[in-house]
Amino acid sequence: MPVQGDALAVFDPDVFRAGAPYDALARLRRDAPVQRVELPALPPIWLLTRHADVIRVSRDDATFSSITGNTFVEVPVAPDSAMLPSLDPPRHTAIRRLINQAFTARNVSRLEARLREIATGIVDRVLDLGQFDAVPEISAEMSLQVIAEVLGVPTEDRLKIFEWSNAIGSLGIEDPDYAPTPEALGDAGAAMFGYFTDLVAERRAESPRDDILSALLAAEIDGNRLSDSQLNEFFLLLAVAGNETTRNTLSHSIKALSDHPAQRAVAAAGPLPNEAIDELLRWSTPVLHFRRTATVDTTIGTARIAAGDWVVMHYLSANRDESVFTEPERFDLARTGEGHVAFGGLGTHFCLGAQLAKLEIRVMVEALYSRVPDLSVVDEPIRLRSAFFHGIKSLPCSTKDNG
């Protein structure tokens, strides 16, 4: 059936090599917004493509649980785990309250001056190069240096974090350029945990600094602090999530601004309002979907969902929902009043690092286009073979508009 073919295309990593299947998603939103999908060796899956349904499931932890994981790889959660995406309330609430003490608006805003220094150095380099691949030179470099800054990692060690997080983050990614052997995956995890354990020990022996890592080490509720193993889990989450999401958002943003010169001129004029950053996030949607598991028999629309079924919230589709976004296929930095779900929807699992991510995107885009107003993509991007991460592996660029 055509509808089933569209649903299968949404989960086919080979499809994304040529670009996201926006037409298939639009047909699903119109004809089958809650569509059952059968994939080999997996429970029944319900694909949600409308904005309202994605928001509903995001907000209902009692009916739609995260404890069996949020990807198509089931990962058991230890009783004392601090891996927030795989926790439900009340445990999720307690751990998040601890970590929130480090990621306050005040602590994030303190990073702005340093982030602008990092972005300036990146722009200096690409101006010297003239022609370059924006993924390693801009997107990955910015995200890595910011992660290093937040975690208190020496800048010279950032490539270690990059290699480890790429290996661990590739779990469930079907791209042969990234998928490691099981041994390499285990080695990366052990190396990263060992590194962070040593880093935490060093920082605890020092006087507290005025940074996010010190705030995280000091965070306390009712005498409880994060254990070393919980800190390691959070560092892993931040390293992987911060690497993949902001890197891909920046890469998609550069591509979009090259394809839309009038919007590129808006970026060059800067500074960018919050609405412009939201539009870059909506357009990019770096994580395509997350899943939940139904805890009881329930319904979404007319679909009857059984306890144990998987429910997949497709963020890229929700961010193109015609009932929410006016002309959703139009890229417009002045778009207002419409709520994207690029940070995992609303509710319990709204991205903890949203403020940091938005600051990072703003700083890099403003620094780049204020000095390279004609930046253009000069060849087709090489896209990630993945139906989970909306990724770009290579993006050939020039500092001059060759169009």
For 323-355, write each residue's pLDDT tens digit: 999 999 999 999 988 899 999 888 899 998 899
Distances (CA, A) of 329 to 229, 241, 287: 44, 26, 18
Question: Span 121-132, mean pLDDT?
Answer: 96
Which range is least confidently modeled, 28-32, 215-219, 353-357? 215-219
177-194 per-position pLDDT tens digit: 776 677 777 888 888 889
Alpha carbons 122 and 247: distance in angstroms, whole number: 14
What pLDDT score was predicted for residue 180? 67
In this prediction the pTM is: 0.94
Sign, Cα dihedral of 248, 252, 258, 262: negative
Residue 122 near residue 135, CB atoms below 8 Å: no
Q: What is the CATH number of the domain that holds 73?
A: 1.10.630.10
**pLDDT for 356-370, tens place per residue?**
999 999 999 999 999
Residue 244: partners with Cβ closer than 8 Å, 6 or more residues away: 165, 169, 286, 287, 389, 391
* 127 belongs to a structural domain: yes
SS3 for 293?
Answer: strand
Number of structural domains the chain divides into: 1
Highest mean pLDDT among 69-78, 131-140, 393-402: 131-140
Quickly count: other Cβ atoms within 10 Å of residue 358's Cβ: 20
Task: Express each pLDDT in 378-394 by its tens digit.
Answer: 999 999 999 999 999 99
Average pLDDT in the 258-283 region? 96
Percentage of the chain lying above the pLDDT 70 cut: 98
Residue 403 lies in a domain: no
- The answer as to whether 276 is a domain residue is yes
Per-residue tokens: 191: 């190396």
Q: Which domain, by its residues, includes 51? A: 2-398
| Contacts of residue 360, Cβ cutoff 8 Å, sequence gap at least 6 | 115, 142, 143, 146, 246
Grade residue 234 by pLDDT with cuts at 50, 70 and 90: confident
Distance, CA of 29 to CA of 33 (rounded, Å): 4
Question: What is the spatial distance between Cα 99 and Cα 82, in angstroms, rounded to a whole number?
Answer: 10
Cross-strand partners of 48: 34, 313
Burial of 205 (0-12, 13-18, 19+ CB in 10 A): exposed
Percent of the chain having pLDDT more than 90? 61
